[in-house]
Structure formats: C-alpha cells, structure tokens
Copies of this chain bind each other. A is one copy, B any other.
Amino acid sequence: MIRPGGTIGILGGGQLGRMLTLAALRYGLKVHVFAPEADSPAFDAAAERTCAPYEDEAALTRFARSVEAVTFEHENVPRRTAEIVGRHAPLHPGAAALATAQDRLAEKTFVAGLDLPTAPVRAVASEAEFAEAVAIVGRPAVLKTRRFGYDGKGQVLVEADTDLSQAWGTLWGAPCILEGYVPFESEVSVVAARTATGEFAAYDLCANEHRDHILSMTRVPAGVSPETEQEAVAVARRIAEALDYVGVLAVEMFLVGKHVVVNEIAPRVHNSGHWTIEGARTSQFEQHVRAVCGWPLGSARRLGRAEMRNLVGDDVETWPGVLAEPGAHLHLYGKADARPGRKMGHVTRVEPD
C-alpha cells in the first residue's frame, strides 16, 4: 500500500494524465509524469517530469525507480516500455491488460473467449487476406489497424461499393482486423474500478454520442432498462476479473435491442467518465488513484443527472459563455493549439434527479 506522501508515476502526459495528477495531489501524493512530448498538459501539474521517448531505457529506469507504482493514461504505451518499467515498480493495470487492450485482435479474441458478445472479426495482414476476410465477414464491415487506433483513427468503413484495394492502401499496410458491422441503436460505456483484492465498483451506465468518431457527449443515466444496465455492468466486471485488473477501465459497448455488444476496452480512465468529477461521490480519477495505491475504492454513487460535453477544436472558444453559466463546470486542459479534432476541454452539468 502506498502512503500519502508517496509518489506515483504516470506514463503519458495528456489530459487524462493531467486529471489523474490533480486527483493524486488531492490525496497528498506526488506525481512523476513520463511523456515524450515537451508540451504535455500533465507536465504543468506534476512535481516531477521526464520528457523522453518511450524507448529510452535509462530514462524509464530512472523514472520507475523514483516512484512507488506506475500507471498509464493511454494504451499505446509500447509493451517493451511497460516491461522495463515493470522491472523496477509495480505497474497497474498490469502488462496483460495493456497487451490485450492495445491490440484489437487480442482484445476481440479475449472478449469472444469469455463468451461475451462482440463483433465477428478476422485478422488481416495483406491485401489478399483482406479480400478473403470481406468475403467471409460480409459488407458492411470495418477495417481497423490492430494498434494505435483512437477517436476513429486507423479505421475504414467497407461498404457495398468500397474499392478494397484503395481501402487497404489508406492504412499503409499496417496489420489489421476486419470487423463485422454491428447495426447498433446507440453507444454506451461502463466505467468501473477494480482493486487488487477484487473489490469492484461501477459507475452508472453512460450513454455516449460521437461526432466524426470523437466522443461528443455523455449522459448519465443512460435511459436504458435496469436489466440492460445490469447486463452491461456484469460484462465489464467479467472483463475486469478475467484481466485481474487493477484500476479504472472503460468498456465501450453497442446497444442492440435490449442487449449489449462489446466494442472496445480502454484500460484506463476514460472520456465518458469525466462527468464523475462533479457527478459522482468519487471521481474516476480519484478511484483510479485509490486502486493504484492499494486503497479501498470510494463510493461510485451518482449525485444527479449528469451531462458531459467535450470541447473539441474551436469549441474551446466558447469558454467565456460556459464560465458565465451557473452550474456549468468548465475543464480546460491547457493545450495551446486548438487543432480540429483535438480535445481541448469539457463541460459538465449536473442537475438533481
């Protein structure tokens, strides 16, 4: 167990790392952020910072030796980076969760292996395999790179009239999967936490809306039946337990009729859980810190009807209006350049149930 006053390490310096750092500070911890980009938002909040590539073994070793536990804010941390760090400090969540979640083929195979519903999938390593997979899976389908996909990056929709050769070319020959298209009504996610002792706590189901493949809005409660919500939470718990997971994870799901189909596992705090900062008794960031430190989980009880809207790209220019709105909670990530598609901040509104 880590005591207050101890230091935790975070691999990755984006807004998730920044908000994790704020939660850790509130508990009297120190944070050491390791990130390759000099303008990492999390650096602004961390007591210690290492700016180095994920391949810099000496820097990783120094980093891991300076902390009592390491966590990460995104799943694209290279496996070798996790291994090096793991030699010198406990890594939560562990290497197995990271390896499973960062490779779409491993992820789908893992979920299907638990007998949980997910889209049909074929591995695709060449144009010939791609054509063969389309013949089996059928159209529409989605060609996705096995790694480094987020916010719709590394995806091509294969429709009835899609030219396969052209589609294959857009992903630069990276190892892919072809995923059968799930005709879903809406998208939901379960954000939950699990500790090393098996304690588990899920937040209420989140209803998510995307725009241009980027999360646009989360609403809680999700407006589904209690049975569907229970099913979704049970699926997330099954996944967390099978991974012997420690920390917060999010399972993104499709809603098909009254049932859920697993879409993606995020082995980390998640954008659809940002509403918990004001909308739940314990935020997802505090919850993750608790799990990483070996502390008991906090109450995941919802405090009201919550709505979280992302400020993407130019949206951030609305900040003065948000500040002037009573009851709107503005969060900005300290990013200098509001490029299109870049998550610059979010706004949460919580109203009594």
- The answer, yes or no, to whether A110 is at the interface (CB within 8 Å) is no
Chain B residue nearest in CB terms to A49 = B47
Contact of B296 with A334 in the complex, beta carbons under 8 Å: no
B residues in contact with A30, CB < 8 Å: 44, 334
A-B contacts besides A28-B335, A281-B327, 20 pairs, CB < 8 Å:
A4-B316, A4-B319, A4-B334, A5-B336, A25-B45, A26-B331, A27-B330, A28-B332, A28-B333, A29-B334, A31-B44, A43-B47, A44-B47, A45-B47, A290-B323, A295-B323, A296-B323, A298-B326, A299-B327, A303-B303
Complex CA gap A31/B44 in Å reads 8
Residues of chain B contacted by A331 (CB below 8 angstroms): 26-28
Complex Cα gap A330–B299 (Å): 13
Q: Which residues of B contact A47 (CB under 8 A)?
A: 43-45
A270 interface residue per 8 A CB criterion: no
B298 touches A332 (CB 8 A): no
Would B330 and A281 count as touching, CB distance under 8 A? no
Known: A22-B25, A28-B345, A45-B47. A5 touches B326 (CB 8 A): no
Closest to A344 in B: B28
By the criterion CB–CB under 8 Å, are B323 and A281 in contact? no
- Give me the interface of A with B, judged by CB distance under 8 Å: 4-5, 18, 22, 25-31, 43-45, 47, 281, 290, 295-296, 298-299, 301, 303, 316, 319-320, 323-324, 326-327, 330-336, 345
Q: Which residues of B contact A43 (CB under 8 A)?
A: 47
Give which listed residue, B18, B281, B296, contacts A25 with CB less than 8 A.
B18
Q: In the complex, A150→B132 CA distance in Å?
A: 77
| Nearest B-chain residue to A324, judged by Cβ | B296
A334→B299 contact, CB < 8 A: no
A38 to chain B, nearest CB (A): 13
User: Shortest distance in angstroms between A153's beta carbon and chain B's nearest beta carbon?
Assistant: 24
**What's the least CB distance linking A205 to chain B, in Å?**
20
Q: How far is the CB of A5 from chain B (nearest CB, A)?
A: 6
| Complex: chain B residue closest to A316, CB-CB | B4
Contact A5 B290 (CB under 8 A): no
Say yes or no: A334-B44 contact (C-beta < 8 A), given A298-B323, A323-B296, A327-B299.
no
